[in-house]
Chain A
Amino acid sequence: MEIINQDSLVAPGDLNEAPISMTTTEGNLTGSWKFFSPCLQEKVSPCRTACPIQNNIAEYMYFLNQGEKDRALEILRESNPLPAITGRVCPRFCQQECNRLQLDQGVLIGSVERFLGDYGLKIPYPAPEKKRSERVAVVGSGPAGLAAAYFLARAGIQVTVYEKEAEPGGLLRWGIPEYRLPKDVLRQELDNLINSFNIGLECRQDMTSEKIEALSSDYQAVFCAPGLGASILPREFAGYDRVRQGLDLLYDLQQGRIPEGRRFAVIGGGNVAVDAARSLLRYGKEVEIIYRRTYAEMPAYPDEKRHLSEEGIPVQEQSLVTDITPHKGALRLSVSQAVKSEQGIVPGPVGSEQEVDVLVLAVGQTEHLRIEPKERLFVGGDLQLGASSVVEAMATGRQGATAILQQLDPEQEAPELPAPEPAAVNLTYVPRKKPLLLRETALEERVSGFVETDPGFSEDEAQLAAARCLSCGKCTACGLCWFFCPDVSIALETEADPPGVTIDSEHCKGCGLCAFVCPRGVIRMEED
């Protein structure tokens, strides 16, 4: 025992006074206590899973956020040879699955893609690593054909594309109005792609089934994506000069052939119907849409429908045209209320009459060529899928190219696409950000010409949009696990390429905090 009094001076701050170990604790391998271990495993982001061509969005956004625009473009081009186009016309399946929708506002992926795509318009693609002797023909230069040509050419194959029209692009060129896809962007994108890979282009080649058969003996393989060139024309509408097919009309408008007449009615609810109606409005026509179901049920893309309404084009919902009669150089339409019955949608008892100068039918397309896939002959695009989106058509092009490459070289393993394992994100520690507003061209300017409805993002805006992306499923070395680890068992490797973390398994006690807090779902606890 010792008597404590005021004279018992103890040096303040003496280590002996504080309950601190005298030696390092590093030798105490606490890692032996654990029965669960954190494992780093990058996952596939839900946006990528939703994308028909599986664009590696998390990755290119990450590099864009690091200020590496060229690397971002390179990653985007891995899966998408037409980003300036899809950035404009894709219905953006990706954005609907964005994890950030649960937090504040989803990432405007399409707008960032468009920015990157426009940036890449003048940047040639790198030459393929090796040249191959095989030659492959592609029929049709729409999105499916171009995608197939790209993936084949990138593998070193010599590709020749056969196109019916005078210029390449297919539906992209004559089916999509300029206010959605300017011809100048289309030309630059296609020129860059075709020139970079020296893809052969044979235009004005009206292919028949026989000619395609013949190609398959000249080439090692043929990828055939001629689209759906014929329109569905119900019998009751056949034989009238003033009844036009939607796609034909769009084609004529692209060629500068504007139909006469003032009053137009468009039957249909899909993208062709909306494109036709909005285009006619821009030529000063009075136009309305007649659709057999409700406005909400119209299958056109939501943005297109919104623009249609904004531009003041009326939609006569749940209406059926039952009869047409020529009347003084115009058409008199008998319109009935559409009623749902067991036989489908049928005309109801209530009816009215109205007069139009031209009736446009946009009720679907069908094939103009019958082609059965066989050895060395592959089919893709709308001919395979039915009318579908640009990006879905591109996906068939990639699949076709992959199948052809495998047939040419059965030894070669098919490039494996990542398994769609969704990244379980934790948004708790992600700071909310102010939502971004999409600018749109003023209504007046829009309807008086073919200026783009969506003016796109400036570089600054695109960077802001990209900065909202978490890069789900990818370790960005954000440091949250490092911050939370109670055992100082995580080291941040910010300078590594790619940056990441390393786990000191000798001291990690397996508490699982890192796996729990990881905003990107990259760490998983596995039983030892």
Chain B
Amino acid sequence: MNFMQNPPAQHTSEMLLGSDAIAYGVKLCRPEVIAAYPITPQTHIIETLSSMVDSGEMPSEYIKVESEMSAIAACFGSVAAGSRSFTATSSHGLALMHEMLHWFAASRFPLVMVNANRALGAPWNIWTDQSDSLAQRDTGWLQIYCETAQEALDTILLSYWLTERIMLPVMVMIDGFILSHTMEQLFVPEQDLADRFLPAYQAPYHLDTENPLSFGAAATPDNFYNLRKALAKTMKNVPKEIEEGAERFSRLFHRRYANLEGYRLEGAEVVIVSSGALTGTVRIAVDRLRDAGKKVGLVKLRLFRPFPREELLEMVQGVPDVLAFSRAVSYGAGGTLAQELRASLYHLESRPRIFDVIISLGGKEVFPETVIDVVQGMGGLSPVNSNWF
């Protein structure tokens, strides 16, 4: 997107911090309840939201809580009561929420949570790293990784539309500091436009003292199994739902986001798969490698859960080598992204070789040169049982 162009209709153009972009996105969605606990590098988001609530700019209920566990539990209560809700966290905060993440998804409660990706100790580290969110991949939440602040703002709107449609919670990831603490020129939609995209939430089921029902009470093993099967079915269907959401979104906002985005894939012999803000850096490296005659392409993975397997297959079909750039490791197994790719592509008769690259952890800087070095040094790598640090 050319950011020097004029904003589309019913948008204003503003220089905003990534955190503020998200806060504006949340405000446009009119959540009734916000419950959150501050943690670097997410704090700016809820700070901005709390001032908006305090000034009366945003008529939401802001619940101050004493921990992230309480934040997600408060949201659990407000969503159970039928309210659109929001929370944001990062790193240790997300880890603290872990138990409730399972409950949220399996209760089929809609929520949008922003996670500013950050490393978990030890040692203390506040910089970007996807270990926090990727460790939550099996909780039943959708996971979307954003490359830019504009994408993050727009993804908030898309996520509310989606979560209330499929009744599964959505986690929206931004890179701590790289997106949260830098400014971009952004197109901020007007409220009327947001309202046209996102109608008020009508909970299909909610706590009602007039008709008391039990939520999440003990179930028989068979019941449990069937409920989880239903959850898995919905997950399977999510990419299609997202497609519909993206189509509606593009009609109103004149921009579109795909679950996977291919870049310079024509005739590519090497494809880098990357996610989050790192993708911007890889994009530049790919351009330089192409200029140097290397047939390198890029796949940006935006949707991580559910894993967009079908779309991935289309993009990497016939590509000999795939480099999976991970910012998280499952120690003793390998980079999280490489594992996901291998699992998705293994059944292909002619499948690419997958190289596992732990490109960065704890905010270790990645420059275009870093990416170029990796691609140029590939010759000495084995795709089998190796992860390249």
B166 touches A488 (CB 8 A): no
Bound together, the chains give a CA A2 to CA B107 distance in angstroms of 22
CA distance A26 to B108 in the complex (A): 23
B255 to chain A, nearest CB (A): 25
- Of B40-48, B187-195, B231-239, B339-347, the one contacting chain A is B231-239
Q: Interface with A: B20-28, B127-135, B215-223, B259-267, which one?
A: B215-223
Determine if B108 and A17 form an interchain contact, defined as CB atoms under 8 angstroms apart. yes
Taken together as a complex, chains A and B put the C-alpha atoms of A17 and B231 apart, in Å, by 7
Whether B385 is near chain A, meaning CB under 8 Å from some CB there, is: no
Q: A10-B230, A12-B165, A18-B107 are in contact. Are A24 and B237 (CB under 8 A)?
A: no
A23 neighbours in B (Cβ, 8 Å)? 213
Q: Are B236 and A21 in contact (CB under 8 A)?
A: no
Q: Which of B106, B219, B233 contacts A10 (CB 8 A)?
A: B233
Interface 1/0 per residue, B139-172 and A, CB below 8 Å: 0000000000000000000000000011100000
- Separation of A23 and B215 alpha carbons in the complex (Å): 11
Task: Assess whether A4 is in contact with B217, with CB atoms less than 8 Å apart.
Answer: no
Are A19 and B219 also in contact (CB < 8 A) when A10-B233, A25-B213 are? Answer: yes
Contact B233 A8 (CB under 8 A): yes
Known A20-B213, A24-B212; judge A5-B236 contact (CB<8 A): yes
Dominant secondary structure of chain A at its interface with chain B = loop
Given contacts A16-B230, A19-B106, A19-B219, contact A24 B236 (CB under 8 A): no
Give the chain A neighbours of B213 by CB distance below 8 A: 20-21, 23-25
Give the interface segment out of B111-119, B173-181, B203-211, B319-327: B203-211
Q: Indicate if the CB atoms of A26 and B212 lie closer than 8 Å.
A: yes
Quick check: is A419 within 8 A (CB to CB) of the other chain? no
B64 — which chain A residues lie within 8 A by C-beta? none
**Is the pair B236, A18 in contact by a Cβ cutoff of 8 Å?**
no
CA distance A10 to B237 in the complex (A): 8
B165's nearest neighbour on chain A, judged by CB, is A12
| Given A21-B217, A24-B213; A13-B236 close (CB under 8 Å) | no
Kindly state whether residue A102 has any CB partner on chain B within 8 Å. Answer: no
- When C-beta atoms are compared, the residue in chain B nearest to A487 turns out to be B212
CB nearest neighbor in A for B202? A13
Instruction: Indicate whether B256 reaches chain A with its CB closer than 8 angstroms.
Output: no
Contacting residue for A12 out of B106, B166, B217, CB 8 A = B166
B364 at the interface (CB under 8 A from A): no
Return A213 CB to nearest CB of chain B, in Å.
72
- Is B167 in contact with A13, judged by CB distance below 8 angstroms? yes
The B-contacting residues of A in range 366-386, CB under 8 angstroms, are: none
Residues of chain B within 8 A (CB-CB) of A10 are 230, 233-234, 237
In angstroms, Cα B106 to Cα A24, docked, is 21
Q: Is the beta-carbon distance between B236 and A17 smaller than 8 angstroms?
A: no
| Nearest CB of A to B61, in Å | 13
A437 interface residue per 8 A CB criterion: no
| A19 CB contacts on chain B under 8 angstroms | 106-108, 215-217, 219, 227
Would A21 and B214 count as touching, CB distance under 8 A?
yes
A residues less than 8 Å from B106 (CB atoms): 19
In the complex, A18 Cα to B167 Cα: how many Å? 9
For the complex formed, measure the closest distance between the CB of B299 and the CB atoms of chain A, giving whole angstroms: 21
Interface residues of B in 90-117 (CB under 8 A from A): 106-108
B137 at the interface (CB under 8 A from A): no
Residues of A within 8 Å of B166, CB to CB, are: 12
A6 within 8 A of B: yes
A188-245 interface (Cβ within 8 A of B)? none
- With a cutoff of 8 Å between Cβ atoms, the chain B residues found around residue A8 in the complex are 233, 236-237
Residue A442 interfacial (CB < 8 Å): no
Distance, CA A25 to CA B310, complexed state (A): 43
Q: Are B205 and A20 in contact (CB under 8 A)?
A: yes
Please name the residue on chain B nearest to A507 by beta carbon: B212
Contacts of B216 in A (CB 8 A): 19-20
CB <8 Å contact, B214 and A20: yes
Chain B contacts of A4 at CB under 8 A?
A: 229, 232-233, 236
Q: Does A15 lie at the interface of the complex (its beta carbon under 8 Å from any beta carbon of B)?
A: yes
Quick check: is B251 within 8 A (CB to CB) of the other chain? no
CB within 8 Å of B: which of A3-48? 4-6, 8-10, 12-21, 23-26
B207 closest partner in A (C-beta): A488
B240 interface residue (CB < 8 Å to A) = yes
Complex CA gap A25/B216 in Å reads 12
Contact in complex: A17, B215 (CB < 8 Å): no
Neighbour of B167 across the interface among A6, A9, A12, CB < 8 A: A12
Nearest-neighbor residue (CB-CB) of A13 within chain B = B204
**Chain A residues near B236 (CB-CB < 8 A):** 4-6, 8
Q: Which of B167, B212, B229 contacts A25 (CB 8 A)?
A: B212
Cβ-defined contact, B212 with A17, below 8 A: no
Interface residues of A in 316-339 (CB under 8 A from B): none
* Cα distance, A12 to B230, chains bound together (Å): 10
Q: Nearest Cβ distance between residue A15 and chain B, in whole angstroms?
A: 6
B35-54 contacts to A, CB under 8 A, are none
Q: Is the Cβ of A2 less than 8 Å from the Cβ of B214? A: no
In chain A, what residue has the closest Cβ to B217? A21
Q: Which residues of A contact B240 (CB under 8 A)?
A: 6
Minimal Cβ-Cβ distance residue in A for B209: A488
A18 touches B232 (CB 8 A): no
Chain B residues near A488 (CB, 8 Å)?
209, 212
Give the Cβ gap from B99 to chain A, nearest Cβ, in Å: 16
Contact in complex: B167, A20 (CB < 8 Å): no
B234 CB contacts on chain A under 8 angstroms: 10, 12, 17
Task: Write the chain B residue with the least CB distance to A16.
Answer: B230
Give min CB distance, B259 to chain A, whole Å. Answer: 13
A15→B204 CA distance, assembly (Å):
8
Are B229 and A2 in contact, CB atoms less than 8 angstroms apart? yes
**Which residues of B sit under 8 angstroms from A16, Cβ to Cβ?**
230
- Residue from A15, A17, A25 having most chain B Cβ neighbours under 10 A: A17
A229 to chain B, nearest CB (A): 64
- Given A10-B234, A18-B205, decide whether A25 and B214 contact each other with a Cβ distance below 8 A: yes
CA of A488 to CA of B233, assembled, Å: 35
Closest to B240 in A: A6
B226's closest neighbor in chain A, by CB? A16
Interface centre among A10, A14, A23 (most CB of B within 10 A): A10
Give CA–CA (A17, B167) in the complex, Å: 9
A218–B209 Cα gap in the complex (Å)? Answer: 70
CA distance A212 to B195 in the complex (A): 88
Q: Give the docked Cα–Cα distance between A21 and B223 (Å).
A: 11
C-alpha gap A20/B219 in the complex (Å): 10
Question: How near does chain B come to A397, taking the closest CB pair, in angstroms?
Answer: 52
Collect the chain B residues with CB atoms within 8 Å of residue A5's CB.
236
Q: Are A17 and B237 in contact (CB under 8 A)?
A: no
Known: A10-B237, A24-B211, A25-B214. A15 touches B229 (CB 8 A): no
Chain B's closest residue to A2 (CB) is: B229
What chain B residues lie within 8 Å of A26 (beta carbons)? 212
B contact residues around A9 at 8 Å (CB): 237
Chain A residue at minimal CB-CB distance from B162:
A12
Q: How far is the CB of B269 from chain A (nearest CB, A)?
A: 31
CB proximity of B238 to chain A, nearest CB, Å: 10
Please give the distance in Å from B262's CB to the nearest CB on chain A: 21
Among A438-494, those with CB < 8 Å from B are 488
When C-beta atoms are compared, the residue in chain B nearest to A6 turns out to be B236
- Are A6 and B215 in contact (CB-based, < 8 A)? no
Q: Once bound together, how far apart are the Cα atoms of A8 and B211, in whole Å? A: 31
Write the nearest CB–CB distance from B38 to chain A, whole angstroms: 22
A302 to B137, CA, bound (A): 69
CA distance A24 to B208 in the complex (A): 10
Q: Give, as a whole number of angstroms, the nearest-CB distance from B201 to chain A.
A: 11
* B219 neighbours in A (Cβ, 8 Å): 19
Q: Which residues of B come within 8 Å of A, CB atoms?
A: 106-108, 165-167, 204-205, 209, 211-217, 219, 227, 229-234, 236-237, 239-241, 310
- What 4 A-B pairs are tightest by C-beta distance, nearest first? A13-B204, A18-B108, A21-B214, A17-B230
Q: Supply 12 further A-B pairs (C-beta < 8 A) apart from A12-B165, A19-B217.
A: A2-B229, A4-B233, A6-B236, A6-B237, A8-B237, A15-B205, A19-B106, A20-B215, A24-B211, A24-B213, A25-B212, A25-B213
Give 5 A-B contacts (CB < 8 Å), ordered by A residue.
A6-B310, A12-B167, A17-B234, A18-B227, A20-B214
